[in-house]
Chains A and B, each alone.
Chain A
Amino acid sequence: MNLKHRIVSIAVCAVMLSAGLAIGQTPPPAKGEPAADTPAPPADAQVAPPPPAPDAPPPELKTLDQEVQGLKKDVVDLNKDLFVLQEELLFPANTQVALYVSMDVGTFFALDSVTVKIDNKEVKNYLYTAREADALLKGGVQQIYLGNLKVGKHELVAFFTGKGPVERDYKRGATINFDKGVGAKYLELKITDRVPKHQPEFMIKDWE
């Protein structure tokens, strides 16, 4: 087979292929006339729906948005349930100990870190960023530790470091001896200003 014959046969193949493709495809219906296999709408459906408001989103988008909102709500609910379940399983009420940090005024103390020891064992060392310290000053309460302790007597020691009066490095401790009963135990590390002495004050409050 010479070159001429080859070119001719390739051209014939190409034409046949394109013709086959054209047959395989259904031609689009002409403007104004319905597609052949599409059923004609009933006569009473011929009435055009009222035109939507110019700024209103199309109904499909609205439905999609509602679905997304619904899913978001489901996720939040699920997250809440999982959190409660985790709390109940990992920290049951009869052994649970929760420790919170709060700060009032803060004129004489800029908080940098808190170290917590329970029964002479370090359970938490937390460094505070400026934002976190600000949040505490604005009235925020932080859960710094959540753990388990058996029923009985325990000792908790908290060390606070930061900048004290006149920008000096400041480190103080506070201790509490408490009785862990059968219910959950809540303790609060409170940092307040002792105005008459121009010094910060560190307390541990036992929420019975």
Chain B
Amino acid sequence: MRKAVLAGGLILGLAVGTASLAATPSIVGKAAPDFVLRGLDGRNLRLSEFRGQVVLVNFWSRSDGDSRQQMPALDRINITYQRAGLVVIGVSVDEDLRRSKEFASAMSVSYPILFDTGTEIGKDYYLQKMPMTVLVDRSGVVRYTAVGFRRGDERVYLDHIRELLRE
């Protein structure tokens, strides 16, 4: 009897887990939702103005350790591949704008950092966990997304970036 209950619970858990995974929406293959945001240098940047280039959009949060690890890796990618037509854009989703700006200044990365204090862009990109990395191809279509960051993930990004740059 106990075994049957355990087995039933396991099946139910698996079913719920699978359902929640299936319910996670994805923007891969769809047009990248456009946004315009103010940058650290005071200039406004619009995503659609980079049509024709491969764009890596990195949503990050100051309070997230993975984001802190990821930014230097993205900086190296930007320095190496910007001449080949890659644009890296960092988007802070922190609500505390002042502290987020301080953090971005301290990181001193070579790519532009934008600040989103609203919620619309997060909804458009289905942001759930930080950091989130989105690769947009030359025609403005999302081709790859990755949530979280572990050391070595940058090699996966590079494989996708090289492929998109060759197109």
Contacts and interface: CB of A to CB of B under 8 A. Distances in A.
Interface in B39-62: 43-46, 49
B138 to A, nearest CB: 18
B38 interface: yes
B36 interface: yes
A127 B49 contact: no
B109 interface: no
A129 B38 contact: no
Nearest to A128: B44
Contacts of B121: none
B28 interface: no
A35 B49 CA distance: 58
DSSP majority for the A interface?
Answer: mixed
Contacts of A132: 46
Nearest to A112: B44
Interface string A124-151: 0001111110000000000000000000
A131 B49 contact: yes
B27 interface: no
B153 to A, nearest CB: 31
Nearest to A163: B42
A129 B42 CA distance: 10
B165 interface: no
Contacts of A128: 44
Contacts of B36: 127, 129
Contacts of A127: 36-38, 44
Nearest to A130: B43
Contacts of B44: 112-113, 127-130
A127 B49 CA distance: 13
Interface string A45-79: 00000000000000000000000000000000000
A98 B12 CA distance: 55
Nearest to B37: A127
Interface string A100-134: 00000000000011000000000000011111100
A129 B49 CA distance: 9
Contacts of A113: 44
Interface in B93-144: none
Interface in B136-167: none
A139 to B, nearest CB: 20
Contacts of B45: 129
A70 B37 CA distance: 39
A130 B36 CA distance: 12
A40 B103 CA distance: 81
Interface of B: 36-38, 43-46, 49
The 8 closest A-B pairs by CB, nearest first: A127-B44, A127-B36, A129-B46, A129-B44, A131-B49, A129-B49, A128-B44, A129-B45
Given A129-B46, A131-B46, A132-B46, 13 more contacts: A112-B44, A113-B44, A127-B37, A127-B38, A127-B44, A128-B44, A129-B43, A129-B44, A129-B45, A129-B49, A130-B43, A130-B44, A131-B49
Interface of A: 112-113, 127-132
7 contacts: A112-B44, A127-B36, A127-B44, A128-B44, A129-B43, A129-B46, A129-B49
